Amino acid sequence: MQNTNENFSFKKYAWSQFKKNKIALVCLYLLFTLIIIAVLAPYIANERPLYAEYKGETLYPAFASSSRTDSIFNSSGQLDEILQYDITDWRRLSFTKVIWAPIPYSPGGMDRYNRDYVSPGGKQRFKNQDGEITDAPKRFRHILGTDGIGRDLAAGLIHGTRISLMVGLVSMGIASLIGIILGALAGFFGDTKLKMPRVKYWLTLFGFFMGIFYGFGQRKYILADAFGESITSGILQMLVSILIIILIIFLFRQLSRFLQFGYLKTETKVPIDTFVSRGIELLNSIPRLLLIITITAIVERSIWIVMIIIGVTSWTGIARFTRAEFLRIRSLEFVQAAESLGFSSIRTIFKHALPNALAPVFVSIAFGIASAILIESGLSFLGIGVPDDIVTWGSLLNLGRQNLEAWWLIIYPGMAIFITITIYNMIAEASRDALDPKLKS
């Protein structure tokens, strides 16, 4: 019996429990399928061929940049034609051999012969190599129809998969970082464990608020312009703001060293748990969608801005789970042993306690990804999320709202959102059962 206990692996046991939920297992495979579709989206839906032989030249248009230009020469070495990849109508070229993408349309490409909401089973037109307008061949039909300006719905759904998954992962990555750190500090220190001189405590708080004021309040227009220019510039300016906050806090903490005398030198308890808990309650008391709409109305519209806003406003549930786990773990023997050996609080928290507190957090993250995708879809549906040139499932639903007779613009994006949200929720439900802390005993 002792040998069996020593060989017991909770990870293997949790995986075996997860596999017993057949629906969740199927959802896991579907999630992998969605990830593959998102990664390969430019090669699944592209108006340029994957491979082509044209006038003796071998081309790979789908794998090249849109700004590329190829010069085609005839047998005598004279310039015959110039192919500019971003404006060439590839369907009208006479190829010797060609391999098209499964969906031979790009999400932003407009088919002027199939405008005004062409239905999937309706009459679709096609301009052949001779310049004649004929019925669209099966290879070039819009299998899920088009919108009002001739954009292919299937291509939009496939490329929208990449946006939706990226929004969920990036935003919850930000939320996880904030929630885990704050929840761990609140649960480990509580309101009584961390102490410091009064003047240091007061100046640290004052420095934090001054840092927020100068780091974000005074630089809000710089940050907005930077994110409007490019995501790299935006992240760089965001890091500058964070460094300003850290620098101001550091300066005020250094200043406190010169003021530690008398009453100011006496130690006081730092109520970290109270600060974090009140912050969670304050953020939860504000309708999150309304808060996000307010922020997006102020800053420049960008998919990265949307992900950052969703992440910054979605950490409360993760912080609560982490805090609850740390309240349980901090009294266990291995944490007390780490403290008795003289390890620093940071090392004890992040090296010893945190790995044993992440199981419930992963479940919260899975639910959070589904929630982030739903929020982004809602923002895009309202027309205030991502820029108009980016196709998402929510923006496709918004197009369907403009013409209710175009049912395919409502049904298919709605199904994509519903299936993706259900996949994440089912995986999260099964993970919660498999990672139940009671099983560890």
Q: What residues does each domain of the chain span?
A: 11-46+152-194+270-441, 48-100, 110-150, 196-269
Pairing of strands 79-84, 133-135: unpaired
What is the phi/psi pair of residue 196, to 5°?
A: -160, 165
Beta bridge partners of 69: 84
What is the Cα–Cα distance from 52 to 62, expressed in whole angstroms? 10
Q: What pLDDT sits at residue 438?
A: 53
The Cα–Cα gap between 198 and 20 comes to 55
For the chain, 441 residues long, give each residue's pLDDT as a single digit of tens: 444 455 656 678 778 888 888 998 999 999 999 999 999 999 999 999 999 988 888 889 888 888 888 888 777 777 778 888 888 888 888 888 999 999 999 988 888 888 888 888 888 988 887 778 888 888 889 999 998 888 999 999 999 999 889 999 999 999 999 999 999 999 998 888 888 889 998 999 999 999 999 988 888 788 877 876 777 787 888 889 999 999 999 999 999 888 888 888 888 888 899 999 999 998 888 887 787 777 777 766 778 888 888 898 889 989 998 998 888 888 888 888 887 887 888 888 888 888 888 877 888 888 889 998 988 888 888 877 777 778 889 888 888 887 888 899 999 999 999 999 999 999 988 888 877 655 444
Q: CATH number of the domain at 11-46+152-194+270-441, out of 3.40.50.1000, 1.10.3720.10, 1.10.10.10, 3.40.1260.10?
A: 1.10.3720.10
The rounded distance, in Å, linking the Cα atoms of 370 and 164 is: 10
Q: What is the DSSP string of 131-182?
A: S-EEEPPGGG--TT-B-TT-BBHHHHHHHHHHHHHHHHHHHHHHHHHHHHHH
Distance CA 136, CA 147 (A): 17
Contacts of 416 (CB under 8 A, 6+ apart): 157, 160, 161, 164, 393
pLDDT, residue 14, reads 78
What local confidence, expressed as pLDDT, does residue 148 receive? 86
Distance between CA atoms of 30 and 33, rounded to whole angstroms? 5
What is the phi/psi pair of residue 83, to 5°? -100, 110
Residue 404: both structure tokens together: 């209710």
Amino acid at 163: I
Distance set, CA 434 to CA 273, 362, 363, 394, 420 (Å): 29, 12, 10, 33, 21
N-to-C CA span, the chain: 15
Amino acid at 152: D
Joined tokens for residue 277: 């808990």
Q: State the alpha helices, DSSP H only, in 330-358.
A: 333-340, 345-347
Q: How far apart are CA 428 and CA 267, in angstroms?
A: 44
Facing residues of 70 across strands? 83
- Encode 244-262: b = buried (16+ Cβ within 10 Å), e = exposed: bbeebbeebbeebeeeeee
Q: What pLDDT is recorded for position 6?
A: 54
Q: Which two tokens stand for residue 49?
A: 């061929």
Contact 14, 435 (CB under 8 A): yes
DSSP 3-state assignment of 331? coil
pLDDT of residue 1: 43
Report pLDDT for 172. 92
Rounded to an integer, what distance in angstroms lies between the CA atom of residue 319 and that of residue 181?
8
Predicted confidence at residue 244, as pLDDT, reads: 94
